[in-house]
RNA sequence: GGCCCCAUGGUCAAGUGGCCUAAGACACCGCCCUUUCACGGCGGUAACCCGGGUUCGAAUCCCGGUGGGGUCACCA
């Protein structure tokens, strides 16, 4: 059996969205599982809409995800170039061949004329199908049209009868009546190829053996098969996987919030979480595992276990997965991702000494167990980096307005001052001792202390917070809170 | 609208004629743990779209309906 070769061929007209990312992932997994090659090709035949910006975004999204390509941009390969815009000669040659073999022909109808006929057909409730009127133009007729300044397109002859059946790996045989297809355009009037043509020419040339793509392309497939047949080339295996739908069951679009890989990255998701989630959308491993590394997926991936029902994506599960990975990965890796965000919010300086790095890492360590994304780590840790915070209003009402709180905090402050070394065991011991001595409930002391140290009512374990902040800061913040409470009283009198 | 695909809980899904009075995960609810919030542990609510067949037997096969989605460009 020959080598498995698959490809992912995005058109660079925007960022890589999660549907595309999943299709690419499946291709990649399939290639790796079969020890084959994964080709990345940029389908930029639409020169008007393609941008180099999009190309960069797509490549960087793949790099971030950790999906590498064996052939394609930057890495090259035996079938280079991997940009369709640089392969136009190839398509022209193929088109000329089809012309010479009378499998294709010139058509001089203008877009405007076609549009009108299409509208008429729609109005008459008929399928808007090209009528083939230019099929048998004589050289004289052609000359006249060209003299009139008309630039022709090239169309492929499609039989009026019979049917084309797609042997789809996921969906079985799907047949389409040829009569419903029309002589579609393979070369535009400006000499550029159309998608259905360029794709097949390249897939043939690049020896692609399996075409794994989203279901939205299923109805394109008979056309592409026609091109394969016209070119007299063997068909690859087609496999159309289900689509990813937005929560409202409609096709993914910008209005559904984050849909691009880029956006998920910006929102603080980890690549392994996104990959894991995407893999589970439409595929399931043989065992019950939900947490899968790329290596696990490669080992277990099989086209036979790819489902055919469209999947609605659900952020909650992705987020849960992200929380899991956030706590599994090395602390320094998370820290390194948090740092730029902290800088962005001016919570830490641009430059800092090594021991401050360790401080950040410690903060990340205490905070990350209770959040789900990188960004949430930042939100949850602001008070570790800035003394300038307000007290949560509800917290103030609940914990600072009680009688004798100021006095209580003063006692706590005094007790803490004597704790040495200032670690978890001893700070907690000191607090417990004070609580017992005063005969109060632990919450009576712990809640106001938390508010004093963080301005918040919800934080990691209090002694964690205390120790991470350090003795000096903790005591300073208690003093500040005591002042605040005393002022509060005065204002009320 | 024509053509095509799909149909198990709110979501992802297992299930390929009897093992199903249907797994597992997320979410949700309750309890436990606990100084708060999480984490963790335990438990719970919740599904085979409808109607006909085929069969001794159907979530699984067939037909019809309904619903959802895709596609009908000189876009990819």
pTM attached to this predicted model: 0.94
Distance A288 CA to B42 C1' (A): 21
Nucleotide nearest to A441 (CA to C1'): B35
Q: In Å, how far are A58, A97, A199, A377 from A91, measured between CA atoms?
A: 25, 10, 10, 51
A337-366 pLDDT, tens digit per residue, is: 999 999 999 999 999 999 999 999 999 999
CA angle centred on A102, ends A98 and A107, rounded to 5°: 85
Cross-strand bridge partners of residue A187? A154, A193
Nucleotide nearest to A182 (CA to C1'): B72
Distance A286 CA to B47 C1' (A): 22
| Closest by Cα among A432, A457, A458, A454 to A445 | A432
Distance A424 CA to B35 C1' (A): 14
Nucleotide nearest to A44 (CA to C1'): B76
Question: Residue A337, Cβ neighbours under 10 Å: how many?
Answer: 19
Question: What is d(CA A485, CA A463) in angstroms, rounded to the nearest whole number?
Answer: 22
Contact A111, A104 (CB under 8 A): no
Kindly give the confidence (pLDDT) of every residue in chain A, 493 residues in length, as a single tens digit, with 9 standing for 90 and above: 589 999 999 999 999 999 999 999 999 999 999 999 999 999 999 988 999 999 999 999 999 999 999 999 999 999 999 999 999 999 999 999 999 999 999 999 988 888 888 877 777 767 778 888 889 899 999 999 989 989 999 999 999 899 999 999 999 999 999 988 999 999 999 999 999 999 999 999 999 999 999 999 999 999 999 999 999 999 999 999 999 999 888 888 777 877 899 999 999 999 999 999 999 999 999 988 999 999 999 999 999 999 999 999 989 999 999 999 999 999 999 999 999 999 999 999 999 999 999 999 999 999 999 999 999 999 999 999 999 999 999 999 999 998 889 999 999 999 999 998 999 999 999 999 999 999 999 999 999 999 999 999 999 999 999 999 999 999 999 999 999 999 886 666 5
Which bases on strand B have an atom closer than 7 Å to a protein beta carbon? Answer: 1-8, 10-16, 23-27, 35-40, 68-76
Q: Is A63 known to be catalytic?
A: no
- Residue A115: predicted pLDDT: 83
- Residue A98: predicted pLDDT: 97
Kindly report which amino acid residue has its CA closest to the C1' atom of nucleotide B8: A309
Kindly report which amino acid residue has its CA closest to the C1' atom of nucleotide B13: A284
Distance A172 CA to B65 C1' (A): 24
Question: What is d(CA A72, CA A79) in angstroms, rounded to the nearest whole number?
Answer: 9
Distance A162 CA to B61 C1' (A): 29
Among residues A251, A254, A394, A489, which one is catalytic?
Answer: A254
Kindly report which amino acid residue has its CA closest to the C1' atom of nucleotide B27: A316
| Closest by Cα among A478, A489, A486, A487 to A445 | A478
Nucleotide nearest to A84 (CA to C1'): B76
């Amino acid at each position: 059996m020959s080598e498995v070769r698959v490809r992912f061929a995005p058109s660079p007209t925007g960022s890589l969205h999660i549907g595309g990312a999943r299709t690419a992932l499946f291709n990649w997994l399939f290639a790796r599982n079969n020890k084959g090659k994964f080709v990345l090709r940029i389908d930029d035949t639409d020169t008007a809409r393609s941008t180099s910006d999009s190309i960069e975004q797509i490549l960087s999204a793949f790099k971030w995800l950790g999906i590498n390509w064996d052939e394609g941009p930057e890495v090259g390969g035996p079938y280079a170039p991997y940009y369709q815009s640089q392969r136009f000669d190839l398509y022209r040659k193929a088109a000329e061949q089809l012309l010479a073999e009378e499998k294709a022909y010139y058509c001089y109808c203008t877009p405007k004329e076609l549009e009108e006929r299409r509208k008429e057909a729609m109005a008459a409730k008929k399928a808007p199908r090209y009528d083939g009127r230019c099929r048998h133009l004589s050289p004289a007729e052609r000359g006249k049209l060209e003299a009139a300044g008309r630039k022709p397109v090239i169309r492929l002859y499609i039989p009026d009868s019979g049917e084309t059946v797609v042997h789809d790996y996921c969906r079985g045989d799907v047949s389409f009546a040829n009569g419903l297809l029309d002589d579609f355009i393979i070369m535009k009037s400006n000499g550029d190829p159309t998608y259905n043509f360029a794709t097949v020419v390249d897939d043939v040339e690049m020896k692609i053996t399996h075409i794994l793509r989203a279901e939205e392309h299923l109805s394109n497939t008979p056309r592409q098969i026609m091109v394969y047949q016209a070119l007299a080339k063997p068909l690859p295996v087609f496999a159309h996987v289900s689509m990813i739908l937005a929560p409202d069951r409609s096709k993914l679009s910008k209005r559904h919030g984050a849909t691009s890989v880029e956006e998920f990255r910006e929102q603080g998701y980890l690549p392994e979480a996104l990959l894991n989630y995407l893999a589970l959308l439409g595929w399931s491993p043989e065992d019950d595992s939900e947490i899968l590394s790329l290596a696990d997926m490669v080992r277990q991936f099989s086209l036979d276990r790819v489902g055919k029902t469209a999947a609605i994506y659900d952020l909650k599960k992705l987020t849960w997965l992200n929380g899991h990975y956030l706590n599994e990965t090395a602390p320094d890796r998370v820290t390194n991702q948090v740092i730029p965000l902290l800088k962005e919010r001016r919570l830490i300086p641009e430059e800092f000494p090594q021991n401050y790095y360790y401080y950040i890492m410690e903060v990340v360590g205490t905070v990350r167990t209770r959040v789900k994304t990188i960004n949430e780590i930042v939100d949850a840790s602001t008070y570790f980096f800035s003394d300038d915070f307000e007290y949560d209003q509800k917290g103030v009402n609940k914990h600072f307005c009680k009688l004798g709180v100021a006095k209580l905090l003063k006692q706590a402050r005094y007790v803490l001052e004597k704790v040495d070394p200032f670690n978890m065991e001893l700070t907690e011991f000191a607090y417990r001792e004070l609580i017992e001595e005063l005969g109060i409930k632990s919450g009576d002391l712990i809640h106001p202390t938390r508010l004093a140290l963080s301005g918040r009512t919800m934080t990691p374990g209090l002694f964690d917070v205390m120790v991470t902040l350090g003795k000096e800061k903790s005591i300073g913040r208690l003093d500040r809170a005591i002042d605040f409470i005393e002022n509060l009283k005065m204002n009320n009198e």
